[in-house]
Structure 1
Amino acid sequence: MTDIHGLAGAYVLDAVDDVERAAFGRHLRDCETCGVEVAELREAIARLADPTWSVPPPALRDAVLAEISRTPQERPGRGGRDGSAAGDRWRRRVAAAAAAVVLAAAAGTVTWAIQEQRVRDARTDVTAARDEVARIGAVLAAPDAVVRTGAVPAGGRVTVVASAGRDEGVALLSGLAVPVAGRVYQLWLIEGGTATSAGLLPAGRGAATVLLDGVRGKVTFGVTEEPAGGSSAPTTTPLVALPVT
């Protein structure tokens, strides 16, 4: 069964074809998880376009002085126990008010810092996603692109598009059975008896579009099922093996 959940990012970036867009649009109406993910991605992209973002919190000194000016002040007496007690109460109130403002401002500073970091992370993620989509498009449009496709015996198909000139390729996996818990699909570029890992699919995924680096000189592209976390070399017979050149 094709894992359509993996199209959320590409859908938001408009990096899907008409068939995928229609299929994901129908899926989105019934999948709350994908709806939340799409909404969060769109919000992050909108935030990146806001030039007014990144406003620091107010100065602590001004906030403390403003709070002190609003705090009722009791003047201490000229002497004796009563005067000292009143002075102590006044100082305690001012100190408490100042501490409250400092704590509130500190909390605001932490919140602001976390939000800033999230925006920076989102900006990095979106930039990387756009770069990857552009590179995938360049591979597919390369004049020397070679296309190979094959069926997986248990169901599903794998297609590889490779450009020796760009030294990059694109692997498209669709309809593969979702691996059991603790297992994932691992991609390989093979030259002679040496297999180099070309990436892992996330756990529970049987479909993906993966950008491949370093395809020049490689002979075969393969997909195996491996333990979660991947293997240093294939431990099972490839489900499919396609010539790269």
Structure 2
Amino acid sequence: MTHGVDPHTLTGAYATDALGDEERRTFEEHLTRCPSCLLEVRELTATAARLGLAAAASPRRTMKDEVLRRVTTVRQEPPFTESAGQARALRHRARHASRWALAACAAAATALGGTTVWQHQRADEARERARQTQERSEDLAGLMAAPDARTRTAKLAGGASATIVVSDSRNQAAFLAAGMAKPPRGKVYQLWFQDQGSMRSAGLLDPESTTTATLMKGPVGKATGMGMTVEPAGGSPEPTSPPVALLALPT
């Protein structure tokens, strides 16, 4: 990050992927300590997704029928020659061209209909992802700002740092970490609540990110600690490897 630049002014650049690798890593470390910037980044990311969708436009439902109707009524240009033989040849080619045009327009209209359905499906999926992202960011920001929020910070293997945030009033916990090594290919980090001697799944981390601010899934309940293990992609119903992190929840 450029020396002297206030990291609080870089939320927009981060949300639009306009930071260099070193600046991004430094700013992501800042996010683990700044819930206000974290919330702003989430909101800007969701807004950018909405703006991208705003450029999409769906054709009228009647466009296909209208195109097919107009093609049959378009008059061909008359031939510019006095030769009867040439005129017959031109009319013959015109009839063929008309049929080809009709077929091409019909194919285009059909393809346009299929593209429209595909665009609608992608737009719906993007809107749903944006909605879920916004909900998670709001929940995470609410947890960080809760009056009874408690934190505990610890060092993980390889020099990574992790922070646990817990709120009894919200019955939620969050896991924030920076500098983590990426899991092996085909593997993913999975979070767990340590609950009365057993481990209860609390969600998966993005295997491509070395920094995270994640609201752990499920209520804290009577859990006294949390763990993180390396699991096959998609996660496991119970830990299948020794924990790479095991921390007591803050009290």
TM score, norm. by length of structure 2: 0.69
2:8 to 18, 24, 40: 18
Structure 1 pair 155–23 and aligned structure 2 pair: CA distance change class (3 A): farther
CA distance in 1, matches of 2:236, 2:18: 34
1:163-185 C-alpha deviation (Å, 9 max, x unpaired)? 12212221102111222223321
CA-atom RMSD, angstroms?
Answer: 3.6
Structure 1 pair 23–89 and aligned structure 2 pair: CA distance change class (3 A): closer
CA distance in 2, matches of 1:159, 1:92: 73
Structure 1 pair 68–127 and aligned structure 2 pair: CA distance change class (3 A): same
CA distance in 1, matches of 2:18, 2:195: 41
**Secondary structure, aligned partner of 2:201:** strand
Q: Which residue of structure 2 aligns with residue 152 of structure 1? A: 156
CA distance in 2, matches of 1:155, 1:239: 12
Q: Which residue of structure 2 aligns with residue 190 of structure 1? A: 194
1:223 to 221, 224, 228: 228
1:135 Cα deviation after fit: 0.6
Alpha carbons 1:181, 1:204 under 8 Å: kept: no
**Secondary structure, aligned partner of 2:73:** helix
Q: Which residue of structure 2 aligns with residue 141 of structure 1? A: 145
Report the AA paired with residue 109 of structure 1: G
Alpha carbons 2:46, 2:134 under 8 Å: kept: no
Select between 139-148 and 228-237 the one with higher mean Cα deviation. 228-237
Structure 1 pair 95–176 and aligned structure 2 pair: CA distance change class (3 A): same
1:43 Cα deviation after fit: 5.5
Q: Which residue of structure 1 aligns with residue 166 of structure 2? A: 162
Structure 1 pair 221–98 and aligned structure 2 pair: CA distance change class (3 A): same
CA distance in 1, matches of 2:57, 2:94: 40
Alpha carbons 1:155, 1:177 under 8 Å: kept: no
Report the AA paired with residue 28 of structure 1: A
Aligned residues: 211
CA distance in 2, matches of 1:53, 1:91: 35
Alpha carbons 1:226, 1:234 under 8 Å: kept: yes
Q: Which residue of structure 1 aligns with residue 119 of structure 2? A: 115
Q: What are structure 2's unaligned runs of at least 5 residues? A: 1-6, 25-44, 78-91
Alpha carbons 2:193, 2:225 under 8 Å: kept: yes
1:58 Cα deviation after fit: 4.3
CA distance in 2, matches of 1:210, 1:59: 46
Structure 1 pair 123–227 and aligned structure 2 pair: CA distance change class (3 A): closer
1:92-121 C-alpha deviation (Å, 9 max, x unpaired)? 766544332221111111122222222222
**Secondary structure, aligned partner of 1:63:** helix
Structure 1 pair 209–58 and aligned structure 2 pair: CA distance change class (3 A): same
Report the AA paired with residue 170 of structure 2: R
1:55 Cα deviation after fit: 4.2
Alignment of 1:1-245 (within 5 A): 18=8, 21=11, 24=14, 28-30=18-20, 44-48=49-53, 53-72=57-76, 96-212=100-216, 213-244=218-249, 245=251
Q: What are structure 1's unaligned runs of at least 5 residues? A: 1-16, 35-39, 74-87
1:170-211 C-alpha deviation (Å, 9 max, x unpaired)? 110211122222332111111122111111223343321111
1:114-143 C-alpha deviation (Å, 9 max, x unpaired)? 222222222111111111111101101112
